[in-house]
A and B are shown apart, each in its own frame.
Chain A
């Protein structure tokens, strides 16, 4: 049985300088209440690993605006001109990673692998500084795992032990990131009694979840 905590309490757990894995794709399936709480607390010097930085005023875009971030690891920043400006001015260091490679690097960290071998990025700028490994005559890039101090997960619903179920395209990076954070904070829209989520529907077992945010308050 988990204790449901408030977003502000969750933000108190996160020290300056942490690496955060944050779920979401253009803000869909992002933990919006946790993001707001981080902005409110003014945590600094954060590294964010996420698919994208959404857009100004939405999801991870709020963290970009707030000045909380010094480093971003993402596959796409094209719809957030502010991330691009801060990258050019040197305020935020940005590492661009192909989307499929990004999710597998996070998965590798979460499932105890020393890295992954992928054909993606061969012969491109992504290859620079990386080891090429030949397996059965075919070249692959060796890509290293990405660990997080925290994984901030958005879920459709949780039960009292923290089992998580996701909805449609709001899955995206969430179930993978839930494996790869030292501390996992899940933000469900609703919390239901044990048994309501069928074992077959659980995508993230509750044993991975350290902290559960209280259900979304009414009217938000």
Chain B
């Protein structure tokens, strides 16, 4: 199984029924593919829809209905279209249960950096700063290392997205929970040992007893 699929399958298990969830562009958007059928959630796209649906069949696209990446989507029964002030009011106001975002770096404080690499890539923060500042639960979904270098660091050296401890980090190698005491290793990914995870991570990991293997198939 590819790293991204492992991550998306594992994150999908974190989603509670009857919640409002915002998935970032790229890897996080794959999470929707692995949600058990019986779990009903509304997905928000911050450009203005609650109840984002799948991509429409070719030729059936509505030019006024896209996700936050600009890709054509549909809306599920019960959907609502909203303007940007309402959309970000929901995000900042504590009405968004969960956001899943990609990451460039996360550190021992649980702080995320995911919006720029000075001198190289300055795309802008888009909605990321509001999402991290406002969502009830923030899950970072990212591959564990970049070109062999750790992305989970003692301290982020890229500009931060927010000064807020994220709720969970999910990679293909590990599930890590940032806490007041530091980063707790909760699960290890398929084929990885605790030592593998520690050596691929610059930040100090707290290991408590036997660390369970990541389960990739929903039990429900």
Q: Is the CB of B133 within 8 A of A75?
A: no
User: What is the minimal beta-carbon distance from B77 to any residue of chain A, in angstroms?
Assistant: 15
Residues of A within 8 A of B65 (CB): 168-169
How big is chain B's contact interface, by range? 35 or more
A169 touches B45 (CB 8 A): yes
Contacts of B45 in A (CB 8 A): 169
Q: Which of B87, B130, B163 gathers most chain A CB within 10 Å?
A: B130
Hey, which chain A residues are within 8 Å of B89, CB to CB?
100
B154 interfacial by beta-carbon distance below 8 Å:
no
By secondary structure, the A interface counts as mixed
Among residues 79 to 94 in chain A, which have CB atoms less than 8 Å away from a CB atom of chain B?
Answer: 79, 84, 87
Whether A104 lies near B88 (C-beta < 8 A) is yes
Stretch with Cβ within 8 A of B (4 or more), from A1-9, A113-121, A212-220: A113-121
The answer to whether residues A100 and B91 also contact, given A29-B64, A172-B48, A172-B83 and a CB cut-off of 8 A, is yes
Q: Is B70 an interface residue (CB 8 A)?
A: yes
CB-CB contacts of B47-58 with A at 8 A, as 1s and 0s?
111000000000
Chain A residue nearest in CB terms to B70: A26
Q: How far is the CB of B113 from chain A (nearest CB, A)?
A: 9
For chain B, residues 64 to 115, give those with C-beta under 8 angstroms from any C-beta of chain A.
64-66, 68-70, 75, 81-85, 87-89, 91-92
Given known contacts A99-B46, A104-B88, A169-B45, A124 and B163 CB-to-CB distance under 8 angstroms? yes
| B125 A76 Cβ-Cβ under 8 A | yes
Compute how far the CA of A78 lies from the CA of B123 in the bound complex, rounded to whole angstroms. Answer: 4
The answer on a CB contact under 8 Å between A28 and B47 is yes
In this assembly, does A134 line the interface, its C-beta being within 8 Å of a C-beta of chain B?
no
Name the distance in Å between A192's Cβ and chain B's nearest Cβ.
17
Say yes or no: is A25 at the interface (Cβ < 8 Å to chain B): yes
Q: How far is the CB of A165 from chain B (nearest CB, A)?
A: 11
Residue B134 interfacial (CB < 8 Å):
yes
A84 contacts across to B, CB distance below 8 A? 122-123
- The answer for the CA separation of A27 and B75 in the assembled complex, in Å, is 19
Question: Given A76-B124, A78-B124, A124–B49 Cβ distance below 8 Å?
Answer: no
**Alpha-carbon distance between A175 and B81 when the two chains are bound, in angstroms:** 13
A123 within 8 A of B: yes
Cα of A78 to Cα of B126 in the assembled complex, Å: 9
Q: Is the CB of A28 within 8 A of B160?
A: no
Shortest Cβ distance from residue A127 to the other chain B in the assembled complex, whole angstroms: 9
Verify if B197 is at the interface (C-beta below 8 Å from A): no
Query: How far is B133's CA from A28's CA once the two chains are assembled, in angstroms?
Result: 26
**Chain B 150-194, CB within 8 Å of chain A: the 1/0 string?**
000000000111110000000000000000000000000000000
A51 at the B interface (CB under 8 A):
yes
A121 pairs with B129, CB closer than 8 A: yes
Contacts of B49 in A (CB 8 A): 168-169
Residues of B within 8 A of A170 (CB): 64
Interface residue from B85, B133, B159 paired with A103 (Cβ < 8 Å): B85
> Does A74 contact B124, Cβ atoms closer than 8 Å?
yes
Contact of B159 among A99, A100, A124, A171 (CB under 8 A): A124
Binding site for B on A (CB under 8 A): 25-29, 51-52, 74-79, 84, 87, 96, 98-101, 103-104, 107, 118-126, 156, 166-176, 203
25 A-B interface contacts by CB (under 8 A): A25-B66, A25-B68, A25-B70, A26-B69, A77-B122, A78-B123, A79-B70, A96-B122, A96-B124, A98-B130, A99-B125, A100-B87, A104-B85, A119-B134, A123-B160, A126-B125, A168-B65, A168-B81, A169-B45, A171-B81, A171-B82, A171-B84, A174-B83, A175-B85, A176-B84
